[in-house]
Amino acid sequence: MIYIAPSLLAADFANLQSEIKQMADAGANYLHLDVMDGAFVPNISFGAPVIAALRPHSNLIFDVHLMINEPIRYIDDFVKAGADIITVHLEACQDLDATIEKIKRREMRCGVAISPATPVEKLLPYLPKIDMALIMTVVPGFGGQALIPETLEKVRTVRRYAKNMGIALDVQVDGGIKTENVHLVAEAGANIIVAGSSIFGAKKPREVITNMRKIAKEYLEQEK
Ligand code: DX5
Ligand code: ZN
C-alpha cells in the first residue's frame, strides 16, 4: 500500500490548522512532522508543543521525524504530544537498540532513518526490530532540495533485504520528491512517500497527491 505524507515543513507556519485540514481534504494519509534541533541538523523547526497543539485538529497519522541528537531523551514528550510513528536517526543515537525499545514500549510505530552519507549496511541489522526504514533522499535539515539519485540503491537494498527475510517493513523516502520523480522511488521499493514543497507549493495539492499515489502504485506493483 502506498501512503502519501506531506511534510509540514513546507506549510504556512502562520496557518497550520488550516494547512493540515487542507492536506486531509486533499487525500493525504500521513502528516510528516520534521523536528530539528539546530545541532544534529543546522536548522531549527518546531517541537512537541506544536505537535500537541495540532493533534486535536487532525485525524491524520502523525509521522514524527526526529532530526535531533539523542532522541531517547524526548520520546515521552512526543508520545504525549500525539505521535503515531516516531522515527529517529541512526547517526543521532548512541544506543539505538535502547531508543527503539523505548519507542516500542510506548506502543508507537518505530522508524529508523539514515542520512545520505550513512551506508545502508549499518541499518540492515535493525530492520527486524522496527516498523519503518527511512532512507533520506536529501541531506536532512532543509526542505526544497533536489533528490540525490545515489540514495535509490539503498531503498532497493532495504526492500530486497526485508523481502528475503520475510519482514513486513514500510520503506519511507524523504526529500526532493515530486510527481516527476516519484516513479523512481516507488520502483526502488518505497511505499511511504514524503513530499513537502511539491505538495504544499502546488496550486492543487489534491491533484499532486492523487497523481503521486497513482504513479507510485503502478511502479511499486511492477516491482513485485
Ligand atoms: C528534510 C526533511 C524533509 C523535507 C522534505 O530534512 O526531513 O521532510 O521537509 O521537503 P521537500 O519535499 O521539499 O524536499
Ligand atoms: Zn522529514
Q: How many domains does the chain have?
A: 1
Atom of ligand 1 at shortest range from CA of 144: 13
Residue entry with cell 516500542? 104
CATH number at residue 85: 3.20.20.70
- Separation CA 200–CA 23 (nearest Å): 8
Residues 6+ away with beta carbon under 8 Å from 136: 113, 114, 115, 116, 151, 173, 174, 175
Q: In what order do the strands lie in the sheet with 85-89?
A: 3-6, 192-195, 170-174, 132-136, 109-114, 85-89, 61-67, 30-36
Whether 174 and 148 have beta carbons less than 8 Å apart is answered as no
The answer to whether residues 5 and 63 touch, using CB atoms and an 8 Å cutoff, is: yes
Measured from the CA of 41, which atom of ligand 1 is nearest?
6
Q: Could you give the CA distance from residue 169 to residue 191 in angstroms, rounded to a whole number?
A: 9
What's the 139 CA to ligand 2 centre distance in angstroms? 10
Give me the active site residues, please.
34, 174
DSSP type of residue 7 = B
Q: How many angstroms separate the alpha carbon of residue 13 from the centre of ligand 1?
A: 15
Mutation test of ligand 1: which of 8, 31, 194, 200 has the most ligand atoms closer than 8 Å to its C-beta?
Answer: 194
Q: Which atom of ligand 1 has the smallest separation from the CA of 176?
A: 14
> In terms of residue numbers, what domain contains 187?
3-223
Query: What pLDDT was estimated at residue 177?
Result: 98
Nearest residue to 28 (alpha-carbon basis) of 195, 142, 183:
195
Residue 224: predicted pLDDT: 52
Closest residue by CA, ligand 1 atom 6: 140
- Structure confidence at residue 59 (pLDDT): 97
Calculate how far, in angstroms, residue 74's C-alpha sits from the geometric centre of ligand 1.
Answer: 21
> Alpha-carbon distance 98 to 73, whole Å?
11
Ligand 2 center–CA 32 separation, angstroms: 6
pLDDT of residue 223: 56
- Taking phi over 0 as left and psi of -120 to 50 as alpha, with beta for the rest, 80 belongs to alpha
Residue 221: the pLDDT is: 78
How far apart CA 175 and CA 144 sit, in angstroms, is 8
Q: What's at 155, amino acid-wise? A: V
Cβ distance 222 to 33 under 8 Å?
Answer: no
Give the model's pLDDT for residue 219.
95
What pLDDT, in 10s, does the model give residues 182-207? 999 999 999 999 999 999 999 999 99
Q: Tell me the pLDDT of the chain (224 aa) as tens digits.
A: 999 999 999 999 999 999 999 999 999 999 999 999 999 999 999 999 999 999 999 999 999 999 999 999 999 999 999 999 999 999 999 999 999 999 999 999 999 999 999 999 999 999 999 999 999 999 999 999 999 999 999 999 999 999 999 999 999 999 999 999 999 999 999 999 999 999 999 999 999 999 999 999 999 977 55
Is residue 91 helix, strand or coil?
helix
CA distances from 60 to 14, 31, 57, 141, 164 (A): 20, 6, 9, 24, 31
Residue 141 CA: nearest ligand 1 atom is 6
Q: Which residues lie with the beta carbon below 6 Å from any ligand 1 atom?
A: 7, 9-10, 32, 34, 65, 138, 140-145, 174-177, 194-198
Is pTM beyond 0.95 here? Answer: yes
**Helix count (H) and strand count (E) of the chain?**
8, 8
Buried-state track 166-188, b at ≥16 Cβ within 10 A, e below 16: eeebbbbbbbbbbbebbbbbbbb
Nearest CA to ligand 1 atom 4: 143
